[in-house]
Amino acid sequence: MNGDKRSPAALIVGLILLIYGLVLKRHDAAIPPGYLLDVATYLKTTKEVVTQFSVAIWSGAIITFFGLWNLAMPSMNSKFDKMVRTPIAGVGTIIFLAFITRYYLEPIFKVWGKNAEPNLGFDFAATFGLNYILLGIVIGIIWVNTIGIPKWMQSGVKTARLAMKMGVISLGAMYSLTELRYMGSLSIVMVAVFVLGTVLFVLLLGRIMKTPRPLTGVLSAGLGVCGVSAAVAAAPVVKARGIDMAYSIGMLLLVGVVGLFTFPTIGRMVGMNELQFGAWAGTGILNSAQVAAAALIFDPKTIETLKVAEIFNITRILFLPVIVIVLAIWFAKGEEEAEVGKVNIGRVLVEKFPIFVIGFILMFAFSSTGIFTPKNYELHGKNFYNFAPEEKKEVRTRDLKKVQELIDSGNVTNPEVRAAVEKLIADRQVTTTAQTDLVLKASDFTDDKKLKDIFKDADKKVQATPPTIKMMREYMMWFFAFGLIGLGMQITWQTIRQAGGKAAVIGVIAGFTKAALSFLICWLFIKGTI
Amino acid sequence: MNMKLLVAHDGSEQSDKALDKAAGLALLSKGSIVVLSVVPDLCMMELSDNDCKQMYKIMTEESEKKLDATKDDLSKKGIEIETVVKFGNAAETIIKTCNDRNIDMIVIGSHGRHGAKKFLLGSVSSKVVDHSPCDVLVVK
């Protein structure tokens, strides 16, 4: 892009970020900058000022550096220029938008939601989940469909895909083995049923509605597996024409966008937990990036929903080669000249294997060796624990007395639980992962809400996230925030309006059925928590 | 005078008419024709570079195939003809091609595949008329 021109865009964006960071840094000075802090106090973002400062300074400095370089020397065709120097202006703009949504728009909606609650009867910001993830996507959509993406930003927007993948890869560090095993087995069952079910359902619909076979094939992959990318992957084996792809892609994008905006609100209204919603989003939403988006809109604070949803999404993507092969066989059967031999199954498996999944698995393997977890920290279930004796982890004497009374009453019949609780009384704090599980179980032996809270607190007091993981989580959220603004910028009316004809009918029927059925199954049958 | 004509072709009946008209003009003026098919750019974040390339390949081959017969036909009549397939927004791409290739006149159907008949001009053709620096012939 911008071939031989020396573009000042990156320099301007970089300087804006840098100046913002420096102004924040001087926030204790009396005049102009002081206002920023007043704003932050009003928006209740004062706690995040330090993060804002460091991200703004670092990204600003880097982007300004490349901005100067871009101005001094025109971008060439080298790989480095294409990957780094050309996109940098767009990257900076998206980072800037992420700032605005995360530290200004989301907080202001929060304040407005609270202010309007007495009149409306509900907090609209909380109900519709107007958090920075959603707002970022909406800004992206509005931007691309009104002013459009200027040339100097285009290659930057394309890096959103990479950012999302990086986000997913770093997410790999956040799982424990038990979690992965549990979610993995759940997802394989759910995904297998829904992928195969949807593919067969769409093939049947296609036969009933007499749509051309290539179109039916592309649609079934897209609706069954993982949206647009599956549709394109299946295109060659069913000999899809351009028009089939255009119809399917427009429709898959549309159904996905509708899901992305409705799922989180529905999930919140019926009170789904993280596991239920993550499983539902990972099964029912069509496109990969939209799954992550929905999970984060539902729950942007912790990453538990995202963790579940991504496992489902990855499982689904792994099914893609299987479906491509199934479709190849289905298509060949209907053709006069059988061309079954043409599909090279081995090649399909290799070509369609998503490389980022390897990164994800490697990251998981790395983190389970404990390199990100310093001494004293343990990952157990979904939480990190630190059992080193510390005064702030101790249960209050008054509460311990109450616990002692429970033990004395003889109501705790399970000897293991009893021993664990007695040890808690002796040590004043929990000291092992096995003990914390047993202490949590102790609340089954009492109806006293106060006691139940004491046990929960005893567990919470020893929970601690290692600083490295905290930092990784923060960076990961930036990857996702970045990627999802980029996602919004690629939801164009131009693409959606390609949807039409019978493809749209099949898409709406199958998409809705899949969403509704998976909702029922997740809501009614998934009872556990992570 | 050798006119260089740009025909915007989307496979619709109207665009076939535009091509006929252009052929007539080219014969008269001993000119040449560039037939441009603009295919919507459906490449997006969900798709890897390879996926996008695959999609472009399918769409390009298809558009070229569609025009092959016409191409032979016109070449036989002695008209120099070139077919081009591009991805992106139709109106913008047509205008850009006209600029890049020093076109004398754009020939375009009054409405294309998506053309709503209730409008006098399709959205693409009216945009081209509004924004093009070249002359535009709208075929009805």
3-class DSSP string for A182-216: HHHHHHHHHHHHHHHHHHHHHHHHHHHHCCCHHHH
Among B15, B16, B23, B13, smallest CA distance to B5 is for B23
Judge residue A80's burial from the number of C-beta atoms within 10 Å of its C-beta, 0-12 exposed, 13-18 middle, 19 or more buried.
Answer: exposed
Residue with token string 């059967």: A333
Alpha-helix residue ranges (DSSP H) falling in A210-344: 213-224, 228-234, 242-270, 274-284, 288-298, 304-318, 320-334
Give the minimum alpha-carbon distance from B28 to chain A in angstroms, rounded to a whole number: 35
Contact A442, A454 (CB under 8 A): no
What percent of chain B has a predicted confidence (pLDDT) above 70?
91
pLDDT of A30 strictly over 60: no
End-to-end CA distance of chain A: 47
> What is the pLDDT averaged over residues A123-142?
89
A vs B: CB pairs below 8 A: 59
Domain-located, residue B93: yes
Does residue A222 belong to the interface with chain B, where contact is any CB pair within 8 Å?
Answer: no
Q: In a 3-state reduction of DSSP, which class is residue A87?
A: coil
Domains contained in chain B, number: 1
The CA distance from B23 to A224, in Å, is 47
Domain-located, residue B129: no
The CA distance from B130 to B125, in Å, is 9
Q: Look at residue A1 in the predicted model and tell me its pLDDT.
A: 42
Return the bridge partners of B105, or none: B5, B135
Q: Look at residue B1 in the predicted model and tell me its pLDDT.
A: 66
**Least confident interval from A264-268, A292-296, A494-498:** A494-498
CA distance readout (Å), B127 to A356, B91, B115, B133: 42, 6, 13, 12
> Which positions ≥6 away from A307 have C-beta within 8 Å?
A171, A174, A175, A179, A183, A278, A382, A530
Which of B12, B41, B46 to mutate to probe the A interface, most A CBs <10 Å? B46
Q: What are the residue ranges spanned by the domains of chain A?
A: 9-130, 171-371+484-525, 377-462
Region at B132 (left for phi over 0; alpha for psi -120 to 50; beta for the rest) = beta
Does residue A227 belong to the interface with chain B, where contact is any CB pair within 8 Å?
Answer: yes
Domain-located, residue B130: no
Q: Look at residue B119 in the predicted model and tell me its pLDDT.
A: 41
Contact A331, A237 (CB under 8 A): yes
Does residue A221 belong to the interface with chain B, where contact is any CB pair within 8 Å?
Answer: no
**Least confident interval from A158-172, A195-209, B81-95:** B81-95
| Containing structural domain, residue B88 | 24-34+43-98
Which chain B residues are Cβ-neighbours of A158 within 8 angstroms? 45
Does the beta-carbon distance from B51 to A240 stay under 8 Å? no
- Average confidence score pLDDT of chain A: 85
CA distance readout (Å), B3 to A297, A453, B33, B34, B106: 57, 86, 8, 11, 11
Q: Look at residue A355 in the predicted model and tell me its pLDDT.
A: 83
> What is the pLDDT averaged over residues A45-57?
79
Task: Say which amino acid occupies A214.
Answer: P
A459: tokens are 């567990």
B34: tokens are 């560039």
A139 or A81: whose pLDDT is higher? A139
What percent of chain A has a predicted confidence (pLDDT) above 70?
94
Beta carbons within 10 angstroms of residue A149's beta carbon: 18
Q: Look at residue B122 in the predicted model and tell me its pLDDT.
A: 58
Q: Look at residue B120 in the predicted model and tell me its pLDDT.
A: 44
Q: Look at residue A259 in the predicted model and tell me its pLDDT.
A: 92
Domain-located, residue B61: yes
Among A251, A218, A254, A250, smallest CA distance to A233 is for A218
CA distance readout (Å), A417 to A303, A399, A530, B15, B65: 30, 18, 21, 80, 76
pTM over 0.95: no
Q: Look at residue B114 in the predicted model and tell me its pLDDT.
A: 54
Domain-located, residue B3: no
Q: Look at residue A263 in the predicted model and tell me its pLDDT.
A: 94
> What is the pLDDT averaged over residues A334-361?
71
Put simply, the chain A residues between 288 and 317 with a CB less than 8 A from any chain B CB are 288-289
> Which positions ≥6 away from B125 have C-beta within 8 Å?
B108, B109, B110, B111, B112, B136, B138
The pLDDT tens digits for A447-486 are: 888 888 888 888 888 888 878 788 888 888 889 999 999 8
Contact A228, A222 (CB under 8 A): yes
Q: Give φ, ψ of B121 to 5 degrees.
A: -120, 145
pLDDT of A6 strictly over 80: no
pLDDT of B118 strictly over 50: no
